Structure 1
Amino acid sequence: MVQTSDLLLFGLAALILVISPGPNMIYLISRSITQGKAAGLISLSGVIFGFLFHIVMVSFGLTAVLFTIPFVYTLLKTAGTIYLVYLAYQSVKPGSKSLFEVQTNLEADKPARLFSMGFFTNVLNPKVAVFYLSFFPQFIKLENGSVMAQSFQLGITQILISLTVNFIIVLSASAMAQWFARKPAWIKIQKWFMATVLTGLATKMALERSK
């Protein structure tokens, strides 16, 4: 099983993934604002099943990679570091959007379509795939037991964090969007805080020794 200290650090990385602007977050907030909380929650269920899809695919893939090509860890670590630095830059670059600068003209859709759109928005989200491929190897250690079991442990942790944060945001999307619109200074604080944490994680990953 993954060590507690590593799991906590992974949880922080997963939290950053959830709160960083991307297709999932923008879609969920936009849907919640335009069609209501129920539509947002249905869309969220589709997003969560999309995470499960990624977890199954990556877990089986990681098992093969870590047992047959161990040196690929260095390549994945490098990719993860570059990805974190990229996200940090995206957070503060000129013209970057806040979480709540979203599309508000979506048409109303039926539950089945809401679910499928949430699912495919996540499945086709490159940010999620890159997160799993580059982050999981940093926290999986062969001496801690089954690689697949550790992969699923990390995956379930990430899902629980994503579900909790997105559930809160869906329920409060409209109020939070209005609050940020009235207090633009907090948008800048949120962006720079996110960039700082991402840069810290990138530094930690870059200095991590190979298994």
Structure 2
Amino acid sequence: MLGTAQILSYIAALGLAAAIPGPGMTALVARSVSSGAVTGFTMLTGLILGDLIYLSIAVFGLAVIAHSFTPLFTLINWAAAIYLCWLAWQFWKYNPQAIDIDRRADRKELFSAWFSGLTITLGNPKTIAFYLAILPLVMSLDNVSLQTWGMMLVPLTILVLLAVGAIFILAALRIRHFLTSAHAQKILFRSAGAIMLLAAVGMVAKTL
């Protein structure tokens, strides 16, 4: 069972890591601006699921196995980098459109947002670094049982990321009215694309 100090340290570390702008939160803001709250929160569920996957990998010791198979780990890094580059290109060439605040997203758009959130997190070097490098410094993973993982770490992770993500989404909704111009939308989406490209470069640099 984790002590109070470890729990508070985990909450603080995860909250800080999530709040630092990266590919995930940048994409979340861009999607929320262009498509609204429902799409934003749908994407957030994908982002959170990706975090839970890495949390599980760290807790159950699979990180050691992953690092043991260097060629496989390198291949995963390159695949993630290529995907982030593709996303960066999609954001860069985004065609600004009039924002319809009352428009409802269809199922296809919601699934796309969810899947983008999941894959961005899985390919996010910041997320990988947190769970596979920083988390072991915050708490002793050898003492984390299946019950502690399921009853404590998973709910805490969901609540912290939901709280941080909600702040980004609500902030994005507040500025939607100021992003009606094509120029403002281009700046937002191209900034998101640039951040994703930098993340992809970071993924490749780790394998060199």
How far did 1:195 drift?
Answer: 2.0
Residues 24, 47 of structure 2: 8 Å contact kept: no
For 1:69, what is the secondary structure of its paired residue?
helix
Q: d(CA) in 2 for partners of 1:154 and 1:160? A: 10
Show the counterpart of 2:121. 132
Aligned letter for 2:170? F
Show the counterpart of 2:78. 78
Give me the identity figure in percent: 11
Q: Within 5 Å, which residues of 2 pair with 1:1-211?
A: 7=17, 11-21=21-31, 27-29=35-37, 52-61=48-57, 63=60, 65-70=62-67, 71=69, 72-93=72-93, 96-98=94-96, 101-102=99-100, 104-106=102-104, 121=110, 125-135=114-124, 136-139=127-130, 140-141=132-133, 144=137, 145-146=140-141, 158-170=161-173, 172=174, 176-177=176-177, 179-181=178-180, 183-209=181-207
How far did 1:64 drift?
Answer: 5.3
How far did 1:59 drift?
Answer: 2.7
Residues 50, 118 of structure 2: 8 Å contact kept: yes
Show the counterpart of 2:6. none
Q: What is the CA RMSD across the aligned residues, in angstroms? A: 4.4
Residues 80, 200 of structure 2: 8 Å contact kept: yes
Aligned letter for 1:80? A
Unaligned 5+ segments in structure 2 are 1-8
Q: d(CA) in 2 for partners of 1:97 and 1:157? A: 33
Q: d(CA) in 1 for partners of 2:164 and 2:129? A: 19
How far did 1:159 drift?
Answer: 3.5
Between the two proteins, the alignment pairs up a number of residues equal to 176
Structure 1 residues 125 and 205: alpha-carbon distance in aligned structure 2, compared to 1, 3 A threshold:
same
Residues 51, 122 of structure 1: 8 Å contact kept: no
Structure 1 residues 208 and 180: alpha-carbon distance in aligned structure 2, compared to 1, 3 A threshold:
same
Q: d(CA) in 2 for partners of 1:20 and 1:160? A: 18
TM normalised by structure 2 equals: 0.58
Q: d(CA) in 2 for partners of 1:186 and 1:26? A: 12
How far did 1:190 drift?
Answer: 1.9
Structure 1 residues 61 and 157: alpha-carbon distance in aligned structure 2, compared to 1, 3 A threshold:
same
Unaligned 5+ segments in structure 1 are 30-39, 108-116
How far did 1:131 drift?
Answer: 2.5
| Worse-superposed segment, 130-139 or 47-56 | 47-56
Residues 87, 196 of structure 2: 8 Å contact kept: yes
Aligned letter for 1:190? L
Q: d(CA) in 2 for partners of 1:81 and 1:100? A: 31
Residues 91, 189 of structure 2: 8 Å contact kept: yes
TM normalised by structure 1 equals: 0.58
CA offset digits 1:20-42 (Å, max 9, x no partner): 43xx665534xxxxxxxxxx6xx
Structure 1 residues 77 and 190: alpha-carbon distance in aligned structure 2, compared to 1, 3 A threshold:
same
How far did 1:12 drift?
Answer: 2.4
